Amino acid sequence: AKAAGRNTLSFYEPGMDGIVADRTALERDLSNAVREGGFVLYYQPIINLAADRPCGFEALIRWPHPSRGMVSPMDFIPLAEDTGLIVPLGAWILQEACREAAGWPGDLRVSVNVSAVQFQKPGFEQAVIGALAAAGLAPQRLELEITESILIADAEAAITCLHRLRSLGVRIAMDDFGTGYSSLSYLRRFPFDKIKIDRSFIRDIADPDAAAIVKAIVGIGTQRGAVITAEGVETEEQLACVRQEGCSEVQGYYFSKPLPAQEALDFVRKPARA
- Closer CB to Ca ion, 29 or 98, in the complex: 98
- Interstrand relation of 69-71 and 53-65 (parallel, antiparallel or unpaired): antiparallel
Shortest gap between Cβ of 196 and Ca ion (angstroms)? 5
Stretch of 17-25, 53-61, 160-168, 185-193 contacting ligand C2E, by CB under 6 A: 53-61
Shortest gap between Cβ of 122 and ligand C2E (angstroms)? 18
Amino acid at 8: T
Contacts 24+ apart (CB under 8 A), 122-129: 123/87, 124/161, 125/161, 125/164, 125/165, 127/90, 127/91, 127/94, 128/94, 128/165, 128/168, 128/170, 129/168
- Residues numbered 197 to 236 that lie near ligand C2E (CB under 6 A) are 232-234
| Residue 176 binds Ca ion (CB under 5 A) | yes
- Residues numbered 110 to 149 that lie near ligand C2E (CB under 6 A) are 113-115
- Closer CB to ligand C2E, 129 or 259, in the complex: 259
- Closer CB to ligand C2E, 17 or 75, in the complex: 75
Shortest gap between Cβ of 33 and ligand C2E (angstroms)? 13
Q: What single DSSP character describes residue 112?
A: E
- Residues numbered 68 to 97 that lie near ligand C2E (CB under 6 A) are 72-74, 77, 93
- For residue 243, give every residue at least 6 positions away whose Cβ sits within 8 Å of its Cβ, in sequence order, or none: 49, 250
145, 148, 245, 249: which one contacts Ca ion (CB under 5 A)? 145
Instruction: Give the angle subtended at the CA of 165 by the CAs of 164 and 168, to the nearest 5°.
Output: 90
- Closer CB to ligand C2E, 113 or 248, in the complex: 113
- Closer CB to ligand C2E, 73 or 139, in the complex: 73
- Listed residue (112, 40, 32) closest to 71, CA to CA: 40
Q: Say how many CA atoms lie within 13 Å of 12 toward its Cβ.
A: 12
Q: Which does 244 bind (CB under 5 to 8 A by kind): ligand C2E, Ca ion, none?
A: none
Chain-centre distance of CA 165, in angstroms? 17
Cβ contact 195:174 at 8 Å: yes
- Closer CB to Ca ion, 96 or 175, in the complex: 175
State the Cα–Cα distance between residues 101 and 106, nearest whole angstrom.
Answer: 10
Could you list the residues that contact Ca ion (CB under 5 A)? 113, 145, 175-176, 231
Could you list the residues that contact ligand C2E (CB under 6 A)? 44, 59-61, 72-74, 77, 93, 113-115, 175-176, 232-234, 251-253, 258
